[in-house]
Amino acid sequence: MTIDEIQKDIIEEFALFDDWMERYNLLIDIGKGLDPLDEKHKGNDYLIEGCQSKVWLYPELADNKLYFKAESDAIITKGIVALLIRVVSGRTPEEIINTDLYFIDEIGLKQNLSPTRANGLLAMVKQMKLYAIAFNAKLKSAEDGN
């Protein structure tokens, strides 16, 4: 599936609910389903600053693709980061850099994107893109080296 197709899927899943409580229930379920992060990656190195709840985001490059694992101590935040992972994890860094994450707006989480909002959704997206930029540079320099 392309990034676009996954985003459309998520939008459809959330479109089934017009009630906020149901949407949160869905986010909670998604959050609970997120693979746990290895304890050794739950240190300050992977902690995203600027969130009221703690979020750890761990990147890994395999076969030129960037994979993310994450965890949060707040379950709704965990649901949000799980959605982000579903969309961007396992893509090339370049794809991640160029992705427009429009699904956030479409499923009504846009208000959570404001820089002052405490859940740090913006900080999570930014961190994912920063990792993508860093790994992209690494891949590029490896290619140049060849």
Partner 1 sequence: MLDIEKIRSQFPILAMEVYGKPLVYFDNGATTHKPVQVINAVSDAYTNFNSNIHRGVHYLSDISSEKYEGAREAIRQFVNAGKREEIIFTAGTTASINMVAFSFGEKYIGEGDEIIISTIEHHANIVPWQVLCERKKAKLLVIPVFDDGSLDIEAYGKLISDRTRIVAVSHVSNALGTINPVKEIIGIAHSNDIPVLVDGAQGIQHGDVDVNEMNCDFYVFSGHKVYGPTGTGVLYGKEKWLEEMPPYQTGGDMVDKVTFEKTTYSKLPFKFEAGTTNFVGAVGMAAAFNYITGLGIDNIIQREKELLDYSTRRLEEIEGLKIYGTAKDKIPVISFVLEDIHQYDVGMILDKLGIAVRTGSHCAQPIMDRFGIDGTIRASLCFYNTTGEVDALIEGLLKVREMMG
Catalytic residues: 51
SS3 49: coil
Rounded Cα distance, 2 and 134, in Å: 22
Tell me 41's DSSP state.
G
- Is 123 a binding residue for partner 1 by CB under 8 A? The answer is no
- Is 121 a binding residue for partner 1 by CB under 8 A? The answer is no
Q: What residues between 25 and 44 interact with partner 1 by CB under 8 A?
A: 25, 28
What b/e readout covers 5-14, taking b as 16+ CB neighbours within 10 angstroms?
ebbeebeeeb
**Stretch touching partner 1 by CB under 8 A, among 4-12, 22-30, 35-43, 59-67:** 22-30
Minimum distance from residue 101 beta carbon to partner 1 (Å): 20
Q: List the structure tokens of 134.
A: 């860093």
Per CB under 8 A, residues contacting partner 1 are 20-21, 24-25, 28, 52-54, 73-77, 118-119
